[in-house]
Amino acid sequence: MALPTVLKRAVPSNVQSAVKRLLWPEYSPATPGQKVIEFWVDVVSGCNLRCTACPVGMPEYTNSIGQKLTEMPIELFEKICLKAKADTNDNCRFGLYNWTEPTLHSKLHELIACAESHGVPCGISSNLNYDYDWSLLKPLHLWNFTITVSGFTQRTYQINHKGGRIEPVLANLIRISETLGDWECYKNIDVRYLVHKQNQHEVHLFKHFCDKLGMKFSPYHAYYMPIDKMFDGLEEVPPELEYIYYSPQLVQQAIGSHRSQNCFMRESQVCLDHEGNFSVCCVQSPSAPSIANYLDTPYQAMQAKRYASDLCRKCTSSGINIFATYGMQEPPEIQQSIEDLLPVDLKDFR
């Protein structure tokens, strides 16, 4: 679907854009180079937890239960880095995660160093249930280091972080503070507490713990995953997700008939699995069929395929894109309508 190279060279960019709009009416991403494009790259094939609201923990949506863990080779990762730089006019950054736990990769530090050598900023996310050697990160730079938690005691933590233990999480946080406390990127560590109906009483405990360690603490509304569960949630609350108050039904009630094509998840994010295949969206199940391999697909053709997908149409027509992005790109009155219906104000926990 990409325009031939000769046509690219001969036709002015504004004419090219007009042709693309004619061929692919739903295709309207910003020109690469105008804003940072985030690549969410799963550098391993699975995760060590089976969280309740994550498809990796759902037998019908997972791609890794009972499967041997596979790592992305450094050679493949480097090719992806180079293509991403070229595709975005050097205006990209990588998050080495989407559905998986990056610290399970035996050469994670080498992947980050590889990206750095090509001028590509990297970030990671971790559940801290794996005993990683955090000193390996000290010579490196991370634009973000997200740590997800959902309780301060085991009884509460295991409601959402199914299969996980809070003890190694707390121990790793202390170890990180001891090992990386003077690290230039320590300020970029963000402990994200996923707030739901049954863990609000422990938010302040975790915030106090992080304050003592000098770590940033951010409360977020826990919500449904994957997108299939979001669609289901428009009709009725899935029994296993009743503990989550931020629901598709609540947002649908707040926005009424308002619909939008706004979605930063397709405008400025690209999701790749450990083999370099891209999907429509970051909230699509890891077991869903991928579209094609990133290395074999021109950037504009990839975006056109994503924008023209049935999944995107269904998502925006039902308002799920507003739910999945917390309404952050919508008019202030829509954002306020959502906030007014939420039973919890996250500002109370900051």
Looking at residue 33, which CATH number applies to its domain?
Answer: 3.20.20.70
- In a domain, residue 182? The reply is yes
Q: Give yes or no for a contact between 125 and 97, defined as CB atoms under 8 angstroms apart.
A: yes
pTM: 0.88
End-to-end CA distance of the chain: 47
Q: Give yes or no for a contact between 16 and 8, defined as CB atoms under 8 angstroms apart.
A: yes
- Label residue 262 exposed, middle or buried (CB < 10 Å: 0-12, 13-18, 19+): middle
Q: What is the pLDDT of residues 5-23, one digit of tens each?
A: 333 334 444 444 443 343 3
| Predicted local distance difference test score (pLDDT) of residue 34 | 67
pLDDT category, 217, cuts 50, 70, 90?
very high
Least confident of 22-36, 94-108, 174-188: 22-36
- In a domain, residue 10? The reply is no
Q: Give yes or no for a contact between 207 and 195, defined as CB atoms under 8 angstroms apart.
A: no
Q: What is the mean pLDDT of residues 129-152?
A: 97
Judge whether residue 147 has pLDDT over 90: yes
pLDDT category, 180, cuts 50, 70, 90?
very high
Question: How far, CA to CA in Å, does 221 sit from each of 193, 200, 232?
Answer: 8, 11, 19
Those residues with Cβ within 8 angstroms of residue 142's Cβ, 6 or more apart along the chain or in another chain: 112, 121, 122, 123, 124, 185, 188
Beta-bridge partners for 41: 272
- In a domain, residue 154? The reply is yes
- At 121, list the tokens: 């900023």
- In a domain, residue 320? The reply is yes
| Predicted local distance difference test score (pLDDT) of residue 27 | 38
pLDDT category, 65, cuts 50, 70, 90?
confident
- In a domain, residue 5? The reply is no
Q: Give yes or no for a contact between 195 and 219, defined as CB atoms under 8 angstroms apart.
A: yes
- At 211, list the tokens: 């304050």
Q: What is the mean pLDDT of residues 131-143?
A: 97
Q: What is the pLDDT of residues 248-278, one digit of tens each?
A: 999 999 999 999 999 999 899 999 999 999 9
- In a domain, residue 241? The reply is yes
- At 132, list the tokens: 């990683």
- In a domain, residue 319? The reply is yes
- 95 φ/ψ angles, rounded to the nearest 5 degrees: -110, 120
Q: Give yes or no for a contact between 42 and 100, defined as CB atoms under 8 angstroms apart.
A: yes
Number of domains in the chain: 1
Q: Please give the angle made by the CA atoms of 247, 253 and 255, to the nearest 5 degrees.
A: 105
Average confidence score pLDDT of the chain: 90
Q: Give dist(CA 273, CA 54) in Å, integer.
A: 16
| Predicted local distance difference test score (pLDDT) of residue 304 | 96
Angle between helices 74-87 and 108-117 (to 10 degrees): 30
- At 99, list the tokens: 């559905």
Q: Tokens 């004619």 identify what position?
A: 22
Identity of the amino acid at 159: I
- In a domain, residue 13? The reply is no
Look at residues 212, 239, 209, 202 and name the one whose alpha carbon lies nearest to residue 224: 239
The parent domain of residue 240 ranges over: 24-349
